[in-house]
Amino acid sequence: MGAAALAEPIPLRATAAQTRIRRLLSLLATHAVLMAGAVFMLLPFVWMLMTSLKSPGEIFSADFTLWPRRFSAVENYDRALTTAPLLRFALNGFIICFGILVVQLLVAIPAAYALAKLKFPGRNPLFVLVLLGLCIPVQVPALPLYIALASLGLLNTYFAIMFPFFLSVFAIFLFRQFFKSFPDDIINAARLDGMSEFEIVWRIVVPSAWPAIAAFSVFSAVAHWNDLYWPLIVVSDTRLAPPPLGMMFFADAETGSNYGALTAAATVLTAPLVIAFLVARRRFIEGITMTGVK
Amino acid sequence: MASVELKSIGKSFGSTPVLGGIDLAVADGEFMTLVGPSGCGKTTLIRIIAGIESQDAGAVLIGGSSIDHLRPHERRVAMVFQSYALYPHMSVRGNLSLPLVMSRLRLHERVPLIRLLSSRRRETMHSIEGEVEAVAQQLQLGALLDRRPAQLSGGQRQRVALGRAMVRHPDVFLMDEPLSNLDAKLRVHMRTELAELHQRLGATFIYVTHDQVEAMTMSDRVAMMDAGHILQLGTPTELYGRPANVKVAQFIGSPTINLLPGSVGSNDAVELLGRRLQLAVDLPAGSPLTIGLRPEALTAVPANTAPADAGSLPARLRRRENLGAEHILHFDLPGAALPPVVARAPPELQLPADGHVALTFDPLACHLFDPSGARVEARRAEGSRDPVVVPFRS
């Protein structure tokens, strides 16, 4: 009896060990794939960062090393910051992203609320139009917009850079999905308490929508901080250039072949976004998963 | 304070009719309950009174004047929602003061920053604060004023929702199943509190529920609704004692009324499962009837001791539920393919070991319904003193 009871658990323990090994292997495999993806995506950034630390001679040397043998970070960053108005480009980026984002939120939030919660004739056709709007790339209306801005004499202004992005159908769509899940009873209670629809939007619905607003803000800021296409069309003045356009002007100028300084400038201009995302990443992920938009 | 009058309210969602011409007059200070199964239109009706939905036909009058043109907040009604509908990002204090802020401060006094320019605002906010504190004290929310709704228990949220309705001193309180999200014990407690609150405030209450116990225990009058119509309007006693419709009889009362098949025999006599009862109705012979017997109307006695002048049914005990103060007995009727018959009994009742009993009842305790479900009035049959024993038809 005793021997049988002792003999019994041994095969069981063996299978437990087997499952543990199997789980470990699958965990390793999953992480290997994810790591490969991460390396693939991060390598350009790492390369940029390392190049910005190297001396010009080492950048073009045939034997490649990731870690610089001799650091010339100070020279590279000094050169980048003194020969190009990098801080000016970053400031332009802030002004443009902030301006676009504020108007986008002011317009998209009430529109999304109306599409999600108000009953009016033509609501569904309007929403279909919003969805169709998602399919139109910015390049399509670029020419008419350019002509309009040119004939109004508004080229080479912040307004010209921001104008095409004031209405974001993506924001309307994202917020509509989010507002859909907001309880109707709370809105009805607010109406009974005497709130107008505008007050309901800004005082009741928006405070509950911060995850969605944070998520959209990251999308919007990244897209417009990095946008080269539209600023290239409407801006020729260096003082108005957002970061990518500024980089282009900088690369064209005498520093064209100085890759150390160039990558230093790129690092300076990429850093704010990366930092902002790291700060807001929990909210961002929350917002994305809550709206069901992936 | 105000009476509420509904005049032939009609409403349909698309092609689905929800309300088919509801007429209802609620007196000033009355506790009126709308009760009915889900989907009967009771919530839609209360939302029409609140102004959240608009009716397709008919008129709503409060205090004798039409309010159909008024927006929800202008109607002097307050509503408590089933989900409580508290503002999730505001503290209890914010939730309670919002209705007053909205009604007493002008638009520019509510806008952030700009509101700092108003000197009147501070005084008004001060008086609002005082009233909020007073209501919070009444509802024992004083210690919770700075919490958010997410930090409160279900019962506390319910109180805040009630307080938000009370601060406005409305003429009419509309309550849409306010207790259905509470656990059973708290629900019983809140029933008493709500009834006392109604007495204290003296306001008109219109209360929607699908729970017949709530309807019975709190209301002055109950309107039982089904499929967009009011089946019966009356006091709880009337609805229980003289249900006008078989659906009312089924819905009101727990355990549910026993419904048995019957018919009209010769000389207008009522027959239950083929047995002649000492009851007569004015219906043609052969008409089918549904005979309802409340569980407390049935008394189980040993099969051979059934009194001669009462109605009686042979039955066999199937299950006995012990509720402490009373027992609920479930009986099978031999020879009839019917759901079990339920009776109440005192705990000390002894039954024969084999379970064979006779269920006796006063024939006048029977509720008779015709095939359309409407109540049929019966009278005691004359002359037939001797019970006619007819074997079961199977």
Query: What is the per-residue pLDDT across B222-246, written as a single tens digit (0 to 9) for each?
Result: 999 998 999 999 999 999 999 999 9
CB atoms B72 and A191 under 8 Å: yes
Cα dihedral A259/A265/A267/A271 (nearest 10): -170
**Which among B72, B86, B89 has CB closest to A192?**
B72
pLDDT in tens, A188-198: 999 999 899 99
Out of A195-204, A219-228, B86-95, B307-316, pick the least confident. Answer: B307-316
Answer whether B82 touches A (CB < 8 Å): yes
Query: pLDDT confidence of B393, banded at 50, 70, 90?
Result: very low
Which residues from chain B sit within 8 angstroms of residue A204, using beta carbons? 87
- Average pLDDT, integer, range B175-201: 89
CB atoms B85 and A186 under 8 Å: yes
As its CATH architecture, domain A83-290 has Orthogonal Bundle (1.10)
Answer whether A183 touches B (CB < 8 Å): yes
Which residues from chain B sit within 8 angstroms of residue A186, using beta carbons? 85-88
d(CA B377, CA B27): 29
Give the chain A residue nearest B100 (alpha carbons). A193
Which strands, in side-by-side order, build the sheet including B229-234? B77-80, B172-176, B204-209, B31-35, B221-226, B229-234
pLDDT in tens, A238-291: 888 888 888 888 777 656 677 888 888 888 888 888 888 888 777 777 766 765
Query: pLDDT confidence of B392, banded at 50, 70, 90?
Result: very low
Q: Which residue has the higher pLDDT, A8 or B272?
A: B272
Average pLDDT of chain B?
A: 87
Answer whether A118 touches B (CB < 8 Å): no
Smallest CA–CA distance, residue B37 to chain A, in Å, is 21
B210 and B204 in contact (C-beta within 8 Å)? no
CB atoms B85 and A191 under 8 Å: no
d(CA B1, CA A279): 55
Answer whether B102 touches A (CB < 8 Å): yes
Other C-beta atoms lying within 10 Å of the C-beta of residue A219? 19
pLDDT in tens, B262-281: 888 887 888 888 788 888 88
Answer whether A119 touches B (CB < 8 Å): no
CB atoms A194 and B83 under 8 Å: no
Q: Which of A223, A251, A246, A222 is nearest to A236 (CA)?
A: A246
Domain extents in chain B: 4-247, 257-380
d(CA A230, CA A242): 10
Which residues from chain A sit within 8 angstroms of residue B77, using beta carbons? 192
Q: What is the DSSP letter of A205?
A: I
At B25, give phi and psi (nearest 5°): -120, 120
Smallest CA–CA distance, residue B164 to chain A, in Å, is 9
Answer whether B73 touches A (CB < 8 Å): yes
Q: Residue B233 pairs with which residues in a beta bridge?
A: B223
Smallest CA–CA distance, residue B22 to chain A, in Å, is 23
- Average pLDDT, integer, range B325-332: 92
- ipTM beyond 0.90? no
pLDDT at res. B363: 85
pLDDT at res. B254: 86
- Average pLDDT, integer, range B185-190: 87
Give the chain A residue nearest B74 (alpha carbons). A194
Answer whether A78 touches B (CB < 8 Å): no
Helix (H, G, I), strand (E, B) or coil at A69: coil
Smallest CA–CA distance, residue A268 to chain B, in Å, is 37
Smallest CA–CA distance, residue A122 to chain B, in Å, is 16
Question: A112: exposed, middle or buried (C-beta count within 10 Å: 0-12, 13-18, 19+)?
Answer: buried
Query: pLDDT confidence of B394, banded at 50, 70, 90?
Result: very low
- Decide if pLDDT at B367 tops 70: yes
CB atoms A193 and B102 under 8 Å: yes
Q: What is the DSSP letter of A71?
A: B
- Decide if pLDDT at A4 tops 60: no
Burial A76-110 (b: 16+ CB within 10 A, else e): bbebbeeebbbeebbebbeebbebbbebbbeebbb
d(CA B270, CA B249): 19
Other C-beta atoms lying within 10 Å of the C-beta of residue A65? 10
Q: Which CATH class is domain B257-380?
A: mainly beta
CB atoms B88 and A191 under 8 Å: no
CB atoms A186 and B87 under 8 Å: yes
- Decide if pLDDT at A172 tops 50: yes
Q: What is the CATH number of domain B4-247?
A: 3.40.50.300
Q: Which residue has the higher pLDDT, A134 or B118?
A: A134
- Number of A:B CB contacts under 8 A? 55
Question: Residues with Cβ < 8 Å from A149, sequence gap 6 or more?
Answer: A155, A160, A163, A234
- Decide if pLDDT at A186 tops 80: yes
B212 and B253 in contact (C-beta within 8 Å)? yes
